[in-house]
Chain A
Amino acid sequence: MGQQMDVGVVVLWVLAIALGILVCAKRGRAETAHAGRRAIERAVQILPRIAVAVLTAGFVARLIPSDVVVEHIGPDSGLSGTLIAMLVGGFIPAGPIISFPLVVVLSHAGAGTVQLVTLLTAWSVFAIHRVVIYEIPLMGARFSAIRLVSSLPLPLIAAGLTALILAVIR
Chain B
Amino acid sequence: MKVLLKQTFDKSFMIFAVLAVVTGTACYLELGRAEFSAAIAGDAALVAFLVPKLGAALLVAAFVQALLPPSFFARYMGDEKGIKGMAIAAAGGTVTPGGPMTSFPLVTVLRDSGTGIGSLVSYLTAWTTTGLQRIFMWEVPLMGAEFAAVRFIASMPLAIIAGVLARLFPAAIEARARQGE
Contact = CB atoms under 8 A, between A and B. Distances in A.
A27 B66 CA distance: 8
Contacts of A116: 143, 147
User: Chain A binding site: helix, strand, loop or mixed by DSSP?
Assistant: helix
A117 B154 contact: yes
B125 interface: yes
Contact of B7 (A4, A45, A98, A142): A45
Interface string B44-88: 001101111111111111111111000000000000000000000
Contacts of B155: 117, 121, 158, 161
Interface string A8-36: 11001101100110110011000110111
A62 B67 contact: no
B27 A48 contact: no
Nearest to B3: A41
Contacts of B158: 121, 125, 154, 157-158
Interface size class of A (residues with CB under 8 A): 35 or more
Contacts of B113: none
Given A45-B4, A53-B16, A63-B27, A103 B143 contact: yes
A138 interface: yes
A127 interface: yes
Interface in A31-59: 31-32, 34-36, 38-59
Contacts of B16: 49, 52-53, 56, 98
A59 B128 contact: no
Contact of B43 (A22, A54, A98, A143): A54
A47 to B, nearest CB: 7
A48 B8 contact: yes
A48 B181 contact: no
Contacts of A98: 16
Interface stretch (A67-75, A79-87, A144-152): A144-152
29 contacts: A9-B53, A12-B53, A13-B52, A22-B63, A26-B67, A35-B65, A36-B62, A43-B58, A44-B8, A49-B16, A50-B50, A52-B17, A54-B47, A54-B50, A55-B20, A55-B23, A56-B16, A57-B43, A62-B31, A95-B99, A101-B142, A120-B151, A125-B128, A127-B128, A134-B101, A142-B176, A146-B166, A158-B151, A166-B150
Given A13-B52, A150-B162, 11 more contacts: A16-B63, A19-B59, A19-B60, A43-B55, A47-B51, A51-B47, A96-B134, A104-B142, A124-B129, A140-B177, A166-B150
